[in-house]
Structure 1
């Protein structure tokens, strides 16, 4: 497997990964904010639990709708223009969430937020394939995935603090939360235009020899994938890609079924309302996830055991979710959530090594976006199904038990990825 010299790898990593990490922190915080705002937002607007669940999930309808075209556009026009566009528009819509005073405006703005943000995550995954050879990609994606736990570690206390600004300038605390995070996102989006380079050939911060070495390695890997992998239609209809899309749907259903309700769950364990202290405690599972996101993808890269590592981490996540709603002890409950968060955050960079190692060109842009779109479908359905089953069974724990079951199913299915993924390299038969 082709590897970069350590100094060149460090140079590329320090230039790109911290900035991409900042972008992902804002993206994940933007999605998680609705969970922090839940209690106060519903109290101030009168929105029901069912309406909140639909609004939380409808983000993913807009997101999934435009994932593939957005990623194809980025593949054509480059990351600096398209990432700037994505972040500026989602920041503006996020700021406008402060004006969501009823169910209709809540639904519309959540849908528009999904439309604006569509293509961000698969765009970054695709962008990493332009800069990091396969030998380093899992670790690079693991660093990028720091954004999710860091969004909670830094954002949980911040969101709780902003919620306590209730009445300042005659605004509700949740309005301050949406406004502040939205404005910061717009600023970072403008910065992205000046900071990102589309490809190694555009990187003036690399020497001519460094650019040539990096591009030669990437070109060799592209040729090894075979010419058929460049077909967009073939990629979107490959059983291997559809199989990965199903697995990612199950993973993301579990992730967002937990994320949207985590502050409320922690508040219930502590017997407190959502505020600064609950936000601080909510950050604890994400500290564990941060450590796992660094250690586990690197371990999988070194051992080349991505399939087994992904399966084990999903089992850990499932057990953590199940235990967290099975106990009355706050200490045990928070500890279980630590395992859940560590599992479903660390599995994702490992998972993304599967499609990125078999697809290239427009096929990679479309295939990665399709897989992520199915994840968005999982994010859309999870809050709705969770709310429905808890109401139907009159059990607040039923939703997480169901999500734990779907996570175990994903753990089983991921064991079949290796054989199926290899078929993506075979010539299409249609």
Structure 2
């Protein structure tokens, strides 16, 4: 569509996408690998280091304490230093810490390194949403986010494919297989940080590959959206405590609680129910990645035109995720466990990207760093609780069934919360 004498809107959006999203996609890919590779390392790491399920749950959750505590400060720093520089800094530090985790020797070192990894990665996802918001008008933002979010299923596929050969290096150069897994999947982030710093374009005003007409139209479109934003607090405290920011953060916290509880124990859960070895379980995790990719393609078409439509899509995905969790809880067979896992992962992980997309359209640009960071901080509190609840339930009962049963109401409540926000007639951008 051409607007007046201006550029073709769709062509311009795709031009921007090709210039910005591949690097963002690659960055998010290694971020998720470095965050979740501990789930594949856990089986042998726990045995080698004598970790119980409770110790592992505390360590997995410690990541989210650091992440939540430093989310807002990190995003405020991003607003000050610029997205390109700050995102590169985030990647450099998390890559080094992820690789260094391979050399832990006890529970407290595990807790400290996972906490440090959370501190290092804090602000990454909301920072990326802020960056995308400075390039893509609101009507195209869910599409853009769904395109770089494809890194998530790619990470699932890669982890499923790489885990077995890396773990098979056990004993090489005197290191365990789980140590090689953490090292090999951590160091690429360090290299990518340099690429990001050199190649990621900063903002439209300085992009030489945009024509003057394209730059003028894009700046006008983003300015018009900013003027019509539903939340313009002109106050840091109000941006942090706005009811919509808090409510959507809470909805995603309920989702992340369920996601992280299952993600960090999925390989062990699936091995128990299917009798498969690490290679077979890796194939199932990879299939979950394919399910996320398919869901993202659908959501990219369904969501994004309006705020209310995006919230309805989120609620529908969470209801489907609840169904997947019910299969995991009630089935008890290989077929129901695999089916339930793939349904849950495909829908819940896809839903997780939408609340910040909604807020990026409701929060004025000057408040986005604080508002989006606050919403994601709340979400990470849920992410912290998930592995902790799961670990203690598994340790206390010797079974994963109670953990799944406890998670199901949280997924349902997340869907209901999104519907309540939608019913409150949140004003579209």
User: Could you tell me how far 1:72 is from its partner in structure 2?
Assistant: 0.9
| Closer, same or farther: CA 5–242 of 1 in aligned 2, 3 Å | same
Residue 40 of structure 1 corresponds to which residue in structure 2?
Answer: 44
> Does the residue aligned with 2:36 lie in a helix, a strand or coil?
helix
User: Could you tell me how far 1:317 is from its partner in structure 2?
Assistant: 0.4
Q: Of 416, 420, 423, which residue of structure 1 is paired with 2:420? A: 416
Aligned residue pairs, count? 424
Residue 249 of structure 1 corresponds to which residue in structure 2?
Answer: 253
Residue 123 of structure 1 corresponds to which residue in structure 2?
Answer: 127
**Cα deviations by residue, 1:331-379 (Å, 9 ceiling, x for unpaired):** 2321221211111122123322321111123411111011111111111
User: Could you tell me how far 1:302 is from its partner in structure 2?
Assistant: 5.0
Residue 93 of structure 2 corresponds to which residue in structure 1?
Answer: 89
Q: Of 303, 312, 315, which residue of structure 1 is paired with 2:316? A: 312
C-alpha distance in structure 2 between counterparts of 1:353 and 1:92, whole Å: 30
Q: Of 334, 340, 350, which residue of structure 2 is paired with 1:336? A: 340
**Cα deviations by residue, 1:377-412 (Å, 9 ceiling, x for unpaired):** 111111111222344455421111211210001111
- 5 Å-filtered alignment, 1:181-196, equals 181-196=185-200
Runs of 4 or more off by more than 6 Å in structure 1? 1-4
Residue 238 of structure 1 corresponds to which residue in structure 2?
Answer: 242
Relative to the length of structure 2, the TM-score reads 0.94
Residue 16 of structure 2 corresponds to which residue in structure 1?
Answer: 12
> Does the residue aligned with 2:136 lie in a helix, a strand or coil?
coil
C-alpha distance in structure 1 between counterparts of 2:127 and 2:238, whole Å: 20
C-alpha distance in structure 1 between counterparts of 2:244 and 2:285, whole Å: 37
Moved more, 387-396 or 56-65: 387-396
Query: Is the 1:70–1:118 Cα contact (8 Å) retained in structure 2?
Result: yes
C-alpha distance in structure 1 between counterparts of 2:217 and 2:300, whole Å: 25
Residue 62 of structure 1 corresponds to which residue in structure 2?
Answer: 66
Residue 102 of structure 1 corresponds to which residue in structure 2?
Answer: 106
Q: Structure 2: any 5+ residue segments left out of the alignment?
A: none
| Closer, same or farther: CA 167–392 of 1 in aligned 2, 3 Å | closer
Matched, 1:297 2:307: no
C-alpha distance in structure 1 between counterparts of 2:115 and 2:231, whole Å: 38
User: Could you tell me how far 1:423 is from its partner in structure 2?
Assistant: 7.8
C-alpha distance in structure 1 between counterparts of 2:187 and 2:78, whole Å: 23
| Closer, same or farther: CA 179–368 of 1 in aligned 2, 3 Å | same
Q: Of 378, 389, 404, which residue of structure 2 is paired with 1:385? A: 389
Residue 223 of structure 1 corresponds to which residue in structure 2?
Answer: 227
Matched, 1:136 2:140: yes
Query: Is the 1:300–1:306 Cα contact (8 Å) retained in structure 2?
Result: yes
Q: Structure 1: any 5+ residue segments left out of the alignment?
A: 426-430
C-alpha distance in structure 1 between counterparts of 2:195 and 2:247, whole Å: 37
User: Could you tell me how far 1:9 is from its partner in structure 2?
Assistant: 1.0
Residue 328 of structure 2 corresponds to which residue in structure 1?
Answer: 324
Residue 283 of structure 2 corresponds to which residue in structure 1?
Answer: 280
> Does the residue aligned with 1:352 lie in a helix, a strand or coil?
helix
Residue 428 of structure 1 corresponds to which residue in structure 2?
Answer: none
Q: Of 150, 157, 166, which residue of structure 2 is paired with 1:153? A: 157
> Does the residue aligned with 1:197 lie in a helix, a strand or coil?
coil
**Cα deviations by residue, 1:219-264 (Å, 9 ceiling, x for unpaired):** 1111112783443221112112111121111011111111101111
> Does the residue aligned with 1:283 lie in a helix, a strand or coil?
helix
User: Could you tell me how far 1:204 is from its partner in structure 2?
Assistant: 1.6
C-alpha distance in structure 2 between counterparts of 1:366 and 1:138, whole Å: 20
C-alpha distance in structure 2 between counterparts of 1:424 and 1:373, whole Å: 24
User: Could you tell me how far 1:419 is from its partner in structure 2?
Assistant: 5.1
Query: Is the 1:229–1:363 Cα contact (8 Å) retained in structure 2?
Result: yes
Query: Is the 1:240–1:423 Cα contact (8 Å) retained in structure 2?
Result: no
> Does the residue aligned with 2:228 lie in a helix, a strand or coil?
helix
> Does the residue aligned with 2:340 lie in a helix, a strand or coil?
helix
Query: Is the 1:119–1:369 Cα contact (8 Å) retained in structure 2?
Result: yes
Moved more, 393-402 or 105-114: 393-402
> Does the residue aligned with 1:124 lie in a helix, a strand or coil?
helix
**Cα deviations by residue, 1:274-318 (Å, 9 ceiling, x for unpaired):** x23321222112211111012123212357622221111101001
C-alpha distance in structure 2 between counterparts of 1:248 and 1:413, whole Å: 9
